[in-house]
Amino acid sequence: MKNRRIVTLSVFLPICAAVALFTLFAQAQQPAVAGKAKADTKGKTGGTPKGINWPSPELPNGPIAFDTGLERGLHLVVTKGLVQPFSMAFLPNGDILITERPGRLRIVHNGVLQPAPITGMPPIQATGLTGLMDIALHPRFAENSLIYFSYNKPATDNSPGGLTLGRGRWNGTSITNFLDLFTAGIGGGGSRILFGRDGMVYISLSAGGDPPSTASMTSQDPGSLQGKVLRLKDDGTVPPDNPFVNRPGARPEVFTIGHRNPLGLALNPVTGDIWECEDGPNGGDEVNILAAGKNYGWPIVSHGRIYSGPNVSINPYKEGMEPPVVYWMPAIAVSGLTFYSGDRYPNWKNNLFVGGMREGEVPRSGHMERLDFNGDWEELHREGVLRDLQQRVRDIRQGPDGLLYVLTAEDQGALLRIDPAPTK
């Protein structure tokens, strides 16, 4: 994180706009390159055009000065060199482990991304939206050095593969003794893991298809793992008090049902509740508070629209299904969320931060959103942050230093550290 000169977003934005106009003109003069911006293009139906091919601009080296509504004089410290980073975990010595979706585990030491990936990871299937995803330290990491991962395991003659919860032991330089704890047997286009205050591991799995497809209804089937959040012991076995244990036709690992694409899990530092965010299609992104055995509605009810335009449901509420705490229309493609519990940004105490990869299906619209709440955890305000960078935000975490760290979901991805204004 070598700092040369400070770039302000007010200066950076006009430059990006000029480059963007030139890029659009150039693209209009020649055929699109297949797969150029795959992450920003989703197929449509009903003759609707596909998404615009418009890759995000390159980030300046930083530091980048910016202001927000409540916190002023902030700076971004930029660490480049990552490829589609998905998640991060902070080691006791201050190093940061970062997963890259193509299947690599990287480390940032003393603010510098080390060139060689960490060894000891298993074979990982990284096609489409699958790959290496979340990372979490065991609550007793200081004693056992265990690190947990969610990843897509390749199918073999002995295993169907699919979304897998695994763990390995950190020896200071590499992962050793890697062990698969639970394999779902189905693919997963995104997954998060979280240790709750009960010591259990919560892991999310995405659903397949959108309505009116039959595949989308798997979210409502407790006998399927698609569109679910699971609850497991730290050894991958099923806790006996899970809500669907001993229920005929249901998987005992299931904790909640009715999710579409859960891409964020966070612990509320005040209540201890687990909050989850999930992607809708073209609208209907949600933040939910998870509770054992509850149904969160997908695809029966939603505030969103499917990609070709029609509403998912005319009525977004139904008895027996939990309404979201927050929703977006149009979608911002939520991914990653965290509560801020530190004191480095005094005006952000207990605020929720949510990553967004693009808004309203428009590229270069990724950003981070800050939300605050009243005493009953009802939304009061939301504020878009880092919009001018035009980067897809994949994950947000609070470090042990009390600072917020952000990962951009780009082929030229970066780790961003938000430094507060200097104290007077």
pLDDT digits (tens, 9 = 90+) for 218-232: 999 999 999 999 999
**pLDDT at 31 (0 to 100):** 32
Q: Considering only CA atoms, which of 214, 205, 195 is closest in space to residue 259?
A: 205
Both tokens assigned to 203: 């892991």
Interatomic CA distance for residues 139 and 148, integer angstroms? 11
> Which amino acid makes up residue 355?
G
pLDDT at residue 94 is higher than 80: yes
Name the pairing type of β-strands 334-339 and 326-328.
unpaired
Confidence of residue 9 (pLDDT cuts 50, 70, 90): low
**pLDDT tens for each residue of 133-149:** 999 999 999 999 999 99
Both tokens assigned to 220: 């409502």
Share of the chain residues as helix, strand and coil, in percent rounded to the nearest 5:
10, 35, 55
Task: Specify the higher pLDDT residue, 15 or 339.
Answer: 339
Q: Which pTM was predicted?
A: 0.90
Cβ–Cβ under 8 Å, residues 258 and 296 = yes
pLDDT at residue 27 is higher than 80: no
**pLDDT tens for each residue of 272-315:** 999 999 999 999 999 999 999 999 999 999 999 999 899 999 99
**pLDDT at 170 (0 to 100):** 98
Per the listing, tokens 């000169």 go with 5
Confidence of residue 32 (pLDDT cuts 50, 70, 90): very low
Confidence of residue 2 (pLDDT cuts 50, 70, 90): very low
Task: Specify the higher pLDDT residue, 410 or 33.
Answer: 410
pLDDT at residue 35 is higher than 80: no
Cβ–Cβ under 8 Å, residues 190 and 261 = yes
Both tokens assigned to 3: 């700092």
Cβ–Cβ under 8 Å, residues 165 and 182 = yes
In 3-state terms, what secondary structure has residue 82?
strand
Confidence of residue 204 (pLDDT cuts 50, 70, 90): very high
Q: How many helices (H) and strands (E) does the chain have?
A: 2, 26
The whole-number average pLDDT for the span 250-266 is 97
Interatomic CA distance for residues 165 and 235, integer angstroms? 10
> Which amino acid makes up residue 37?
A
**pLDDT at 21 (0 to 100):** 42
Name the pairing type of β-strands 85-90 and 74-82.
unpaired
- Which stretches does DSSP call E strand in 196-280? 201-205, 228-232, 254-256, 261-267, 274-279
Both tokens assigned to 85: 């980073």
The whole-number average pLDDT for the span 233-259 is 98
- Which stretches does DSSP call E strand in 33-174? 64-66, 74-82, 85-90, 96-100, 104-109, 112-113, 132-137, 146-153, 162-170
Q: What share of the chain has pLDDT > 70, as a percent? A: 88
Interatomic CA distance for residues 144 and 137, integer angstroms? 10
pLDDT at residue 77 is higher than 80: yes
Which stretch of DSSP H or E encloses residue 110?
A: none
